[in-house]
Amino acid sequence: MDTPEQRIQIAVQKTGRLTDHSIDLLERCGLIVTKSKNQLICYGENMPIDLLLVRDDDIPGLVSEDVCDLGIVGLNIVEEKRLGLLAEGSEALFKQIYELDFGHCRLSLAASDGVNYSGPESLQNKRIATSYVAILREYLNKHEVDAETVYFSGAVEIAPKLGRADYICDLVSTGGTLAANGLQEVDVLLDSEAVVIQTQAPLGDAKQALVDKILQRLDGVLQVRESKYIMLHAPRSALAEIRNLLPGSEAPTVMPLDGNDDKVAVHAVCRENVFWETLENLQAAGASSLLVLPVEKMLA
Ligand code: ATP
Ligand code: ZN
């Protein structure tokens, strides 16, 4: 049995938009977890890795204070914590080490429909409702604008209707919530996605090696998402053109076909999605027997 010091603790959002993706990603990296009854901690069965299920806002703090070694959380939360600590004169003791390509959203400024926004100077002497006080303050300072920030812990989008603010600064993905509240996005402060953060405390060789292994597997998992394995037959004469048409592939494997000197089999891993148009172009270039297969795992 590993002592707790040798186990890696990863902080993950308990319930919310990031939860399923975060756990799914770790499971794809080979981790099998048992969910305990209260679900505060999921113990890894096959690796010395445990998941701490917490509110997303607590994740940067837990990692900064070295309660957890790693955390999966939105960049918006990471930046808010980092800038918040900076404003208090201290420093976040975590480093952002990996972008996970899910949980995409942006932290934006929005105003009631019809408000004439012509840049940050339009915010002068206005009231802006937000949960992201530190990021907003930095933005206002950067643009040398004086504005009042009004803290809302949630439901920021109703602030203008309540007469509490002129603008809001909140997360947007599709813009549907804004539109439903008669608001329009006028500026973007931060593009966000889920990221992995790691404590700055030294982990020791064994733990660091395991963290590196998880990150290498994460890399593989993210790469195969879009990747496809493509197989086709091609006339030798068309090989150069066909190679050029294969999207995002490195050196394809070219094999002779039994009893056919004119044609070869071409196999390639394409690191981008393969669309119908690509297949049609390949076919037009002389390719036949085209097959596109999903890639399950990849180790570069
Ligand atoms: P918690 O209870 O953990 O505090 P929460 O309500 O603060 O949960 P969620 O709404 O689950 O958080 O969002 C978690 C993260 O998902 C956000 O911090 C952000 O990084 C990301 N996200 C992606 N799209 C959106 C969106 N449209 N609105 C809000 N967050 C989004
Ligand atoms: Zn939260």
pLDDT at 3: 56
pLDDT reading at 274 higher than 70: yes
Count of the separate structural domains present in the chain: 3
Looking at the fold, whether 216 and 268 belong to one and the same domain comes out as: no
Query: Are the C-beta atoms of residues 56 and 16 closer than 8 Å to each other?
Result: yes
pLDDT tens for each residue of 111-139: 999 899 999 999 999 999 999 999 999 99
Q: Are 111 and 185 members of one domain?
A: yes
**What's residue 10's pLDDT?**
98
- In the chain, the percentage of residues whose pLDDT exceeds 70 is 97
Taking the CA of residue 77 as reference, the ligand 1 atom at the shortest distance is 18
Reported as a single tens digit per residue, the pLDDT across 236-267 is: 999 999 999 998 887 899 999 998 889 999 99
Question: How confident is the model at residue 36, as a pLDDT?
Answer: 67
Nearest 5°: the CA angle 80, 85, 87 is 95
- Does residue 129 sit within a domain? yes
Measured by CA distance, the residue closest to atom 19 of ligand 1 is: 74
CATH number, domain of 141, equals 3.40.190.10
Mutate to test the pocket of ligand 1, among 52, 56, 131 (most ligand atoms within 8 A of CB): 56
**What is the model's pLDDT at position 35?**
75
pTM assigned to the model: 0.87
Tokens 């036949």 locate to: 288
41 pLDDT band (50/70/90 cuts)? very high
| 163 & 177 share domain | yes
- Identify the pLDDT of residue 34: 86
Residue 103 CA to ligand 1 centre (angstroms): 8
Pocket test for ligand 1, best of 105, 131, 156 (most atoms within 8 A of CB): 105
Are 201 and 173 members of one domain? no
Above 60 in pLDDT, residue 4? no
User: Looking at ligand 1, which atom is closest to the CA of residue 192?
Assistant: 20
The answer, yes or no, to whether residue 172 has pLDDT greater than 60, is yes
With bands split at pLDDT 50, 70 and 90, how would you rate the model's confidence at 298? Answer: confident
Q: Which atom of ligand 1 is nearest to the CA of 174?
A: 27
180 and 70 within one domain:
no
Atom of ligand 1 nearest to the CA of 19: 11
Ion ligand 2 neighbours, Cβ < 5 Å: 56-57
Q: Is residue 209 domain-shared with residue 267, that is, in the same domain? A: no
Domain check: are 98 and 198 in the same one? yes
Containing domain of residue 38, as a range? 4-102+194-223
Residue 126 and residue 243 share a domain:
no
Query: Residues 156, 183: one domain?
Result: yes
* 64 part of a folded domain: yes
Pocket of ligand 1 (CB under 6 A): 13, 16-18, 55-57, 74, 76-77, 103, 105, 171, 173, 192
User: Could you report the per-residue pLDDT of 57-101, keeping only the tens digit for each?
Assistant: 999 999 999 999 999 999 999 999 999 999 999 999 999 889 999
Nearest CA to ligand 1 atom 24: 105
Q: What is the pLDDT of residues 200-220, one digit of tens each?
A: 999 999 999 999 999 999 999
Q: Which of 32-46, 123-137, 286-300: highest mean pLDDT? A: 123-137
> Hey, whose CA ends up nearest to atom 8 of ligand 1?
16
**299 inside domain:** no
- 184/211 same-domain check: no
Bridge partners, 12 (sequence order): 53
In this predicted structure, the answer to whether residue 37 has a pLDDT above a threshold of 70 is no
* Per-residue CA distances from 23 to 51, 78, 207 (Å): 9, 19, 20
Q: What is the pLDDT of residue 271?
A: 83
